[in-house]
Each structure stands twice: as C-alpha cells, then as structure tokens.
Amino acid sequence: MQDAGKVVDYYIVFEKTKCVHWLTRFLDSQIQHCYAVGKSSGGRFWKVIEPGVNNLAVSLKSVSQYPSIRDIAGDEAVIVRVKTELKQTKPQIRFCLRSCVEVVKSLLGIQRAFIITPRQLYIYLIKEELICKKQK
C-alpha cells in the first residue's frame, strides 16, 4: 500500500437513505446510508464522496457557501470525525458488494470483511476509538 503512514481526516455522515431499495428493510431505521466529507488540501472546498445505489458521486462544495459540515449533511444526520493513519496491509482478495460502507471503509483503510451495514461501521468506529469528536 503506497499510502501507508498517510493520515486521513474525514467526517463520516450517517443518515436515513433517500432511495428505496429492497435491502433497506434489513438496515437500521435511522442509519441506512453513509458517506464521507473532507476538506481539500487548501481548505477552500469540501470534498463530498457519496456512493449511491448505482453510482459514485464526488463533488466539491465551497466552504464559503457551506461553512459547516452540518450545512452539507443536514440536521438529522449523525456526523463523526475520523482521523486515522493508514497502515501497511497485505492485499486482500474478497467478494464484496459495492456499497456505501465499502467505499467509506476503503477511504479509511478499514479491511474488515464483516462490516457490511452503516450501523456496523458506526459501531466499529466507536469501538476502535477512531472518532475524534462527535458532531451534535
């Protein structure tokens, strides 16, 4: 892994999903979707990485228009800040569904095969104490 040692700093947003999907019935009623938001290297933009059911939306939002992460995520979302160092790992070949959780796990360098739902990811981040501070 060429990024080993690199520190990643993202806000992970957990929310109810905006789309109807057959898998939704198996998810927690409040935490059904997750995505990542981080500041650009210059600090002038928010990088929003939001996996969808059939796409991956990556966008930049101006900090002057959206001064707070809450302005992007909304009032109902659960937001946690994760700052962690990427570790040297062996490549893993495994079957996985391309989901919001898999994309966020990749961004954070998490290689746990059995974290599949947004709720499981949220609990893992709390247990592993990867959360810097909880945003209210």
Residue predicted with more confidence, 86 or 120 = 120
Confidence band for 135, pLDDT divided at 50, 70 and 90: very low
pLDDT, tens digit, for every residue of 94-132? 556 678 889 999 888 888 888 988 999 999 998 887 666
pLDDT, tens digit, for every residue of 41-64? 889 999 999 988 778 899 999 999
Residue 1: predicted pLDDT = 46
Question: What type of residue sits at position 95?
Answer: F
Q: Tell me: pLDDT of 12 over 80.
A: yes
State if pTM tops 0.95: no
- In Å, what is the CA distance from 43 to each residue of 27, 55, 107? 34, 26, 19
Residue predicted with more confidence, 63 or 27 = 63
Residue given tokens 């939704």 in the structure block: 24
Residue 134: predicted pLDDT = 46
